[in-house]
Amino acid sequence: MQKRLEVGQIVNTFGIKGEVKVMPFTDDITRFDDLEKVYVKTKKEEKLYKIQNVRYHKNMVLIKFENIETPEQAELLRNAFLEIDREDAIPLEEGTYYIADLIGMEVYSDDGNKLGIVEDIYNTGANDIYVVKNDLGKQILLPGIKEVIKEVNLDTEKITVHLIPGLI
């Protein structure tokens, strides 16, 4: 299990006061209101920043970090990922999981056949889609619905699924 969770990516600067525009990786973007600090991870470094102010604009999060005062300073953070410590994460409801915890888990059908490993999960709006890659490199797309995803066991890192007719 990862120590930190990604909560967004800086996609641009905003305004003239050094704010950054963040694409959130969370279902509830207002969760940024409760954050005091984030790790900003660029290709070159990883640094802890204190959050001075948060506001929202067109489903994006606008963040003002302490000691980032100009658009030029903010520009250096473009494309960086924002991470938080796991203990700063919002507790999840039972039966929901952080995507970071599901990536890399083995996927088995309910009759015991290994289908592959979770490579990615993306949201279509209606539900999540689990991208499972088998040993031959073939991808299987599984809808994240309770008729298909039967059990997720974080301890054994195993997901059990039911393959409904026509799925693969």
* Full-model pTM: 0.76
Residues of the domain holding 131: 99-161
CATH code of the domain in which 126 resides: 2.30.30.240
Is 2's pLDDT higher than 80? no
Residues 23 and 69 in one domain: yes
Q: Is residue 139 located within the same domain as residue 75?
A: no
Any idea what the CATH number is for the domain that residue 80 is in?
A: 2.40.30.60
Tell me if 51 sits within 8 A of 36, measured CB to CB: yes
The reply to whether 75 and 28 lie within a common domain is: yes
Q: pLDDT tens across 88-147, in order?
A: 888 888 888 888 899 999 999 999 999 999 999 988 778 899 999 999 999 999 999 999
Residue 97: the pLDDT is: 87
Please, which pLDDT band fits residue 62 given cuts at 50, 70 and 90? very high
* Pair (30, 73) in one structural domain: yes
93 located within any domain: no
pLDDT at 50: 97
Domain termination residue (choose one: 88, 107, 124): 88
Provide the pLDDT for residue 1. 67
**Residue 76: pLDDT above 70?**
yes
Residues 8 and 67 in one domain: yes
pLDDT in tens, 9-44: 999 999 999 999 999 988 788 989 999 999 999 888
Distances (CA, A) of 89 to 15, 47, 85, 102, 127: 29, 18, 7, 16, 22
Residue 167 lies in a domain: no
80 shares its domain with 116:
no
- One domain for residues 23 and 62: yes
SS3 9: strand
Q: Into how many domains does the chain fold?
A: 2
